[in-house]
Structure 1
């Protein structure tokens, strides 16, 4: 089992793991016993951000309709529409050596599909987490439990991966947004 982080904490991924090139981000959650009349469909999205602090090219946004970045550096392994079962609900593969030079950080977010129409929010979700594994051996490097402080939010930036002084670092962000995926896209400079 890896290191457990709290909101706001940062860790150097590559310094303590020399030779780390390929990681898997596993995200999981459970739905509380609350019936809005609809299934819960949580979606993971990846915003590959440039120097401007925004997504500079449409292809730098990886989500359920664009599962693989053109460089091959980031691949979304598919949309789990129910969150049922044990283990990670959605996974993202990241090849650190293939990340294009114009990318400064990678923000990983979770949204609730059609949250407003379905009257759903992250206050109805529990046991949510993100973990980082070494893809070579599936060893867990770290885990960040997002907590239960979200009540009206329909989108969460879970974490950021960023390069600093030649090393890859992980930041446990845990920042909530209202407005779902659309609000996140606007935050990162994408037109929807």
Structure 2
């Protein structure tokens, strides 16, 4: 993937992958002011992200963040971020350089420091985006190295290795000129044979022990550890029929403040990315659809996150058609919970669980409740019950 980004004028670096979603950071060259908008095409005429999708066919979306040094403070800051899906990028026309000017328009949850002024022009100064509520970006920024003399590679000088010194395709760069060049096996074997013999490394420490997930029954509640507030991964696994995962961000009354707090396949993100769907994919004999929720990043008016499913409306099937259905929820520390919803033949949509704010001894906490109750009317009944009108 880094090789795919190496011919981009700004250095790109893959920093992580979650399921079928890839995270990429781009280090824009230092600028004194916002430049005239230019198309983001590679020398071969392809948009950078499209080339990235071609390199990794299993990736369905790319979370992209652009980092640069701010002229006023001379510190690194993010000036653009968002999500671009394979479907959106591949369905857009990329025949002319001007086509790339619509790149921001096809993204999801896009934030950009270039904003229109009162006169209708674009701002000419660069201002950093507020990322205090986006833990992943804040963590990247906190660990970005500013010292050019540091012995470790840093985001501040990635463009040296991946930008100006990139080698045309099909030609082998000089040794050491490209830190991300893929070496052939013969070259690796030759280097290994001529290098001095190193002492045998100590055996790696065993991975930390993970407790099995806690199995919940309908109506059971658990207090979530604080680590779970920073990020929970939700996965609904099933077989036998098709179903969709949906999230409602509601108040204490169980209803959304507006339709923007409804997360479903046509609106896969809400609350500036604090709740979002991560895609559906086959995993052996089962299908898994995932979502991520960052509880501490949710706005105050969101008191509950309702985790629900609905059957494909066109099939007319009920939840009884689902087999091996289970909801899995876990956080970074390894704490995990699982719940098997009932296979009810009378309903076509179901609230499986909810995450909700609570207070204990005056201190705010988050709790998880397993539910497993639903509506015969399917998605329409489920949505209306939570304040969303389905047209």
**Under a length normalisation based on structure 1, what TM-score does the superposition of the two structures give?**
0.84
Whether 1:26 aligns to 2:235 is: yes
Distance 2:271 2:355 in 1: 19
Q: 1:50 aligns with which of 231, 237, 251?
A: 251
* Helix, strand or coil at the partner of 1:19: helix
Q: 2:380 aligns with which of 173, 178, 182?
A: 182
Kindly indicate whether structure 1 or structure 2 has the higher relative contact order, using CA contacts under 8 Å at least 6 residues apart.
1
Whether 1:75 aligns to 2:273 is: no
Q: Aligned residue for 2:342?
A: 147
Q: CA RMSD in A?
A: 1.8
In the TM superposition, residue 70 of structure 1 has moved relative to its aligned partner by 3.5
Cα offsets for 1:132-178 (capped at 9, x unmatched):
111x35x3511111133x01211110000001011111000100211
Looking at CA atoms only, which structure, 1 or 2, has the larger radius of gyration?
A: 2
Matches within 5 A, 1:1-192: 1-14=212-225, 18-20=226-228, 21-31=230-240, 40-80=241-281, 85=284, 89-114=288-313, 117-134=314-331, 136=332, 139-148=334-343, 150-165=344-359, 166-192=364-390
Distance 1:98 1:26 in 2: 20
Q: Give the number of the structure whose residues are more often strand, by fraction.
A: 1
* Helix, strand or coil at the partner of 2:260: helix
Contact 1:131 1:140 in 2 (8 A): no
* Helix, strand or coil at the partner of 1:147: coil
Alignment size in residue pairs: 174
Distance 1:98 1:128 in 2: 29
> Which 4+ stretches in 1 moved above 6 angstroms?
none
> Which structure 2 residue ranges, 5 or more long, are not aligned?
1-211
Q: Aligned residue for 2:142?
A: none
